[in-house]
Amino acid sequence: MWFLDQKDMPDKWYNIQADLPEPLPPVLHPGTGKPIGPEDLAPLFPMELIKQEVSTERWIEIPDEVQDIYRTYRPTVLHRAYNLEKALDTPARIFYKYEGTSQAGSHKLNTAVAQAYYNKQEGIKRIATETGAGQWGSALAMGCSFFDIECKVYMVRISYDQKPYRRILMETWGAQCIPSPSPDTNAGRDMLKKWPDCPGSLGLAISEAVEDAASRDDTHYSLGSVLNHVLLHQTVIGEETIMQMEMADAYPDIVIGCVGGGSNFAGQALPWMRDKLSGKSPQMRIISVEPESCPKITKGMYTYDFGDVVGLTPLLKMHTLGHTFIPPAIHAGGLRYHGMAPIVSHLNNLGLIEARSAHQMGIFEAAVMFARTEGIISAPETSHAIRIGIDEALKCRESGEAKTILIAHSGHGHFDLTSYAKYLAGEITNFSYPEEEVKKALQDLPRV
């Protein structure tokens, strides 16, 4: 393990917008089709975050108050997977940067703390958000608890029922968590009238949270991935890792991360991408891993689409399977999103990222192997990256190459153990790519 002294913790986030070979396509207003301005986002986000969204400054200072909270769990540790390497009998060196020791159990806290801080600075007393599997909702609950902000989380009902531990986490940190659809918003009430037992969806939960925030002056909305400012906050992971890999006298040939909305992957990958863009290491491979059944990068279109299912958000240019696409019920709930962060999509479109997909049974096989060698119980989301890391290490066994592989380990799976039990009992199957559903969803793409 490589620790980093707290005095060496990065005090700036890295903004890749300063170094992109081509600028990001603009975000468009769904009504006018014209680029949106800051005032369009002001009812939902604090101005500092809106500025970060479009900033092209290379380094953005991490406020002291955010650094103080980071210091309750950062720098996180860089591990070398010696036992896994031995079990794979590979000449490859496998490193992983582990975000699971944050109090909320994943990388999500890095942006939750920052978002809570900037909202607090703007006098906001209350934040509304949605959560699917619960990682984001619990991270924001904790972030808000530190800054004494009220937090309301609309949690997709099926997850609310299936994952009571995540809900209890949020309540322990003082947030209110209710199942969506809820009777608290028009969007929720309308749905409950039509379908009282509706299991909910991320898109509907977003609609409820946005409506909640838009209808109250004291309330803002908060998103846990996809947007540029969210990816920015996550770069603290990669900046730490660069220093730690140097301590380990190593440099990655391959960097691997799973992608749902893209923020975990970007947090590790963007700081390394700097070396790739500057010509220092053009040969470095940066690999994103998505579920075989929700393959926005490998099978989706790169086009303008809504960020939510209902179609309330501005239009983002991104890899998408269509905003009305509902992914199959895989166990990696955090990767069940139709779109991809515009920054990640842009880099992929420029040929700077390799995209891979993985099947569910393979990811649990990798997760159990990782648990029995490295000890850590990984989130099913994270296990996508572990799967491809193992595959690359096995290729090294074939070729005899001693490559250095770096895995972005986004979090623990302590609240996903029922999925592990199902895998161990042989009750998990693969979902193939739902081609017909995607074709249908792509017909609903907005016209720009």
**Rule CB under 8 A: is residue 362 a binding residue for its own copies?**
no
Residue 167 or 336: the one with the smaller Cβ distance to its own copies is 167
Which range of residues in 168-176, 234-242, 339-347, 394-402 is near its own copies by CB under 8 A?
A: 168-176
Q: Which residue among 18, 329, 417, 448 contacts its own copies (CB under 8 A)?
A: 417
- The structure tokens listed for 97 are 């940067």
Q: State the Cα–Cα distance between residues 283 and 280, nearest whole angstrom.
A: 9
* CB 288, CB 356: distance < 8 Å: yes
**Rule CB under 8 A: is residue 161 a binding residue for its own copies?**
no
Residue 2 or 306: the one with the smaller Cβ distance to its own copies is 2
Task: Name the burial class of residue 366, with classes exposed (0-12), middle (13-18) and buried (19+) by CB atoms within 10 angstroms of its CB.
Answer: buried
Which range of residues in 13-21, 287-295, 340-348, 369-377 is near its own copies by CB under 8 A?
A: 369-377
**Rule CB under 8 A: is residue 8 a binding residue for its own copies?**
no
What's the longest Cα–Cα distance across the chain? 62
Please give the DSSP secondary-structure letter assigned to residue 430.
Answer: -
123: left (phi over 0), alpha (psi -120 to 50) or beta: left
Q: Which residue among 3, 35, 350, 429 contacts its own copies (CB under 8 A)?
A: 3
**Rule CB under 8 A: is residue 1 a binding residue for its own copies?**
yes
Best CA proximity match to 112, nearest among 84, 131, 86, 97: 131
Residue 146 or 265: the one with the smaller Cβ distance to its own copies is 146
**Rule CB under 8 A: is residue 168 a binding residue for its own copies?**
yes
**Rule CB under 8 A: is residue 4 a binding residue for its own copies?**
yes
Q: Which residue among 193, 280, 395, 414 contacts its own copies (CB under 8 A)?
A: 414
Give the DSSP letter string of 331-388.
S-GGG--SB--HHHHHHHHTT-SEEEEE-HHHHHHHHHHHHHHH---B-HHHHHHHHH
Residue 139 or 227: the one with the smaller Cβ distance to its own copies is 139
Q: Which residue among 20, 158, 243, 368 contacts its own copies (CB under 8 A)?
A: 368
Minimum CB distance to its own copies, residue 362 (Å): 17
Minimum CB distance to its own copies, residue 205 (Å): 21
Minimum CB distance to its own copies, residue 383 (Å): 12
Give the DSSP letter string of 232-301.
HHHHHHHHHHHHHHHHTT---SEEEEE-SSSHHHHHHHHHHHHHHHHTSSTT-EEEEEEETTS-HHHHSE
The footprint of its own copies on residues 374-393 (CB under 8 A) is 374-377
The footprint of its own copies on residues 60-79 (CB under 8 A) is 68, 71-73, 79
Q: State the Cα–Cα distance between residues 422 and 434, nearest whole angstrom.
A: 23
> What one-letter code names the amino acid at 386?
I
> What one-letter code names the amino acid at 150?
E
Which range of residues in 195-203, 233-241, 379-387, 416-424 is near its own copies by CB under 8 A?
A: 416-424
- The structure tokens listed for 347 are 């880099």
**Rule CB under 8 A: is residue 195 a binding residue for its own copies?**
no
Which range of residues in 120-128, 141-149, 209-217, 353-361 is near its own copies by CB under 8 A?
A: 141-149
Locus of tokens 């099978």: 299
Locus of tokens 């029995």: 372
Q: Which residues bind its own copies (CB under 8 A)?
A: 1, 3-6, 68, 71-73, 79, 82-83, 101-105, 142, 145-146, 164-165, 168-169, 171-174, 368, 371-372, 374-377, 414-415, 417-418, 420-421, 424
